[in-house]
Chains A and B, each alone.
Chain A
Amino acid sequence: MKISASVFSLFAVGLMTATLASGQTRQTIPRTADGKPDFTGVWAGPGFTHRVGPGDTDTPRVSNFDPKNFAPFKPGGEALFMQKETGDVLHDDPTAKCLPDGFPREVLAPYATQILQYPGVVIFLYEYMHFFRVVPTDGRPHPKDVELNFMGDSVGHWEGDTLVVDTIGLREWTLDATTNPATRYHSDALHVIERIQYTDPMTASYRITIDDPKIFTAPWSQDFGMKLHPTWKLYEQVCEENNRCEGGKCADSDAQKSSKE
């Protein structure tokens, strides 16, 4: 096992930076060979409560955005954002029919996330509905013509030890899981910035900035936490397997499998 001098020096520089930045010796965070923080692993993301201490369960919790963080609405913005329930589940909560939750709602889902990190790319594997995001970190910009879709187009870069991911190209869709009395929607102009940074070798801070110029007068942010779980693995999560009760109708026809004996 030979560790190259350059890798070692990068590692050492990283350690020194961490020490200087915090003003005290910080526990060593995992780093890749190129010296970047290494987020590889299975994480309990923002969709968990991160209690610390005895009984720490990392309880799954559907996280939502807190109105206290919102920027003021543009004229007409609130009507675009808070869309009243219609009784049509495809509008009120499309995930009840196993349609995608989309980004950024996927990040807030109470399921695990696996991160794989390689030079020039960070890959997010989401347990919930088996979505993924492949985020190039090689300096490329967003494509000129971005097709609007559920997960958007993401590019990343490093600001010191912070992984910054910039996402556009999102179709108008539910912003989070808030549905009652109105469903929160974002517009097709949504631009999201995520900032992920280790706070210690097992935890990271996750700041998400919502920049939706059709709805809000300014970008706004919310902070969440993430915790590494070395013993976890991603479980299969096939929404269509035994889905029923969508839209409050619990008919057998809604499910792939009959509830009858």
Chain B
Amino acid sequence: MKKLAILAAGALLASSVALFAHHAFSAEYDATKPVKVTGTVKKVEWSNPHIWFYVDVKDESGKVTTWGFSGGPPGMLMRRGITREVLKVGDVVKVEGFRAKDGSNNASGGNVTFANGRKVFAGAAEDVVPQ
């Protein structure tokens, strides 16, 4: 039953191109610079106006870079059954988003795929989600 609920929640999120913007996507992120990384969740900030989560990504040489991703607002996620328990420190995730305009290692949260293939979250802002 629990598994079913999780699957349903995942399906809802994955099927959505929803946007949680508190402001315009284009003011912060560059829609021409998609980001796709796989790494380990280092930290989650479950707070308004958007949750932030940080992912440690290791390159071929073993160097670790921390990426910061902006997700939806907590209330919006909770209303849809996504609590802070869904995204935990230590989870291995693939995240697809768009890079911040300032070129820092921050990006819109976009889609998050867990190691078991479960996909949660849809766009962090506006309906700009990597295809």
Contacts and interface: CB of A to CB of B under 8 A. Distances in A.
Given A57-B12, A245-B28, A259 B49 contact: no
A236 interface: yes
B57 interface: no
A239 interface: yes
Interface of A: 55, 57, 59-62, 85, 89, 92-93, 95-96, 98, 110-112, 127-128, 177, 179-180, 232, 234-239, 241-251, 257, 259, 261
B102 to A, nearest CB: 5
B75 A237 contact: yes
Contacts of B72: 60
B20 A110 contact: yes
A238 B75 CA distance: 11
Nearest to B28: A245
Interface of B: 11-12, 15-16, 18-24, 26-30, 43, 45, 47-50, 52, 54, 68, 70, 72-76, 78-80, 100-102, 104, 106, 126-127
Given A95-B22, A235-B75, A238-B48, A59 B16 contact: yes
Contacts of B19: 60-62, 110
Name, among B23, B45, B127, the residue most crowded by chain A CB atoms within 10 Å (CB to CB).
B23
Given A98-B49, A110-B20, A93 B27 contact: yes
B27 A259 contact: no
A96 B75 contact: no
Nearest to A231: B79
Helix, strand, loop or mixed for chain A's interface? Answer: loop
Given A98-B49, A241-B47, A257-B47, A57 B75 contact: no
A241 B70 CA distance: 14
B128 to A, nearest CB: 10
B48 A179 contact: no
Nearest to A237: B48
Contacts of A259: 45, 52, 54, 68
Contacts of B28: 96, 245-248, 250
15 contacts: A61-B127, A85-B26, A89-B27, A92-B27, A110-B76, A111-B75, A112-B75, A232-B79, A235-B78, A235-B79, A244-B52, A247-B101, A248-B30, A257-B47, A259-B54
B24 A92 contact: yes
Given A55-B12, A235-B75, 8 more contacts: A61-B19, A62-B19, A93-B23, A95-B22, A110-B76, A128-B22, A236-B48, A261-B43
Given A61-B19, A245-B106, A257-B47, A235 B24 contact: no
A236 B75 contact: yes
Name, among B12, B16, B43, B73, the residue most crowded by chain A CB atoms within 10 Å (CB to CB).
B73
